[in-house]
Structure 1
Amino acid sequence: MMVNLKNPVTNQFKQCKAGFSWTVFFFGFFPALFRGDWKWLLIILGIDLVTGFWSFGLVSGVANIVFAFIYNKLYINDLLSAGYIPADESSKNALLAKGFTVRE
């Protein structure tokens, strides 16, 4: 389910998927890189490097599966914390249905 978020200060719009992240599942840290999400890029890349080095990539693969389930929620929470708000009523309802705290 896609949600539209808007920053009322800069009028910047972002369209995000709420739910499982297939892009993180298949491509690891690259979605964070392309979104400019530097915090989670470094965290995922660091976990991949540290766990992949001594386990021949097995633990890194498991970590990417875990991040596939939680990354979109982390990304949307960071955007909401940065001042983004739902751009429309359907996005607001979708976020509330997924358990996000939305301010007006």
Structure 2
Amino acid sequence: MATAVMIKHPQSGMVKKGYFGFSWTYLFFGWWVPLFRGEVGIAAIHFFFTIFTFLIWQVVMAFLYNKQYMTRMLVDKGFVLADSDPVNTMARLKLGIAQ
């Protein structure tokens, strides 16, 4: 089950909710999840692979999507973990990030 963690962009002050762990949301809704999170390009790629693998992609990505999303947010977009210390520590362990 996915666990929520707050993330914050230091320059803009934008706060978002991120997740780590298995994504039931992705399992049931597939490529719609990245689309609603504002990742249109990622959603298009996931749609393509979901169609051409006859939904196998969707099952596999349910295990991987939250970690990939959080990696894009933390590494590529510059967000930082902004939750309580125990939640941040658990997120770092599950996501495999140091700090």
User: Could you list the runs of 5+ residues in structure 2 that have no partner in the other structure?
Assistant: none
> Which segments of structure 1 move beyond 3 Å, counting only runs of 4 or more?
none
Q: Distance in 1 between matches of 2:86 and 2:4?
A: 10
Structure 1 Cα separation of the partners of residues 35 and 95 of structure 2: 26
Superposition CA RMSD, Å = 1.5
TM-score (norm 1): 0.82
Q: Which residue is 1:78 aligned to?
A: 72
1:96, 1:17 → 2: CA distance?
12
More helix by share: 1
Matched with 1:41 is 43
Q: Which runs of 5+ in 1 are unaligned?
A: 52-58
Query: Contact conserved, 1:48 with 1:63, CA < 8 A, in 2?
Result: yes
Q: Which residue of 2 aligns with 1:101?
A: 97
Greater C-alpha radius of gyration: 1
The aligned length equals: 95
The SS at the match of 1:14 is strand
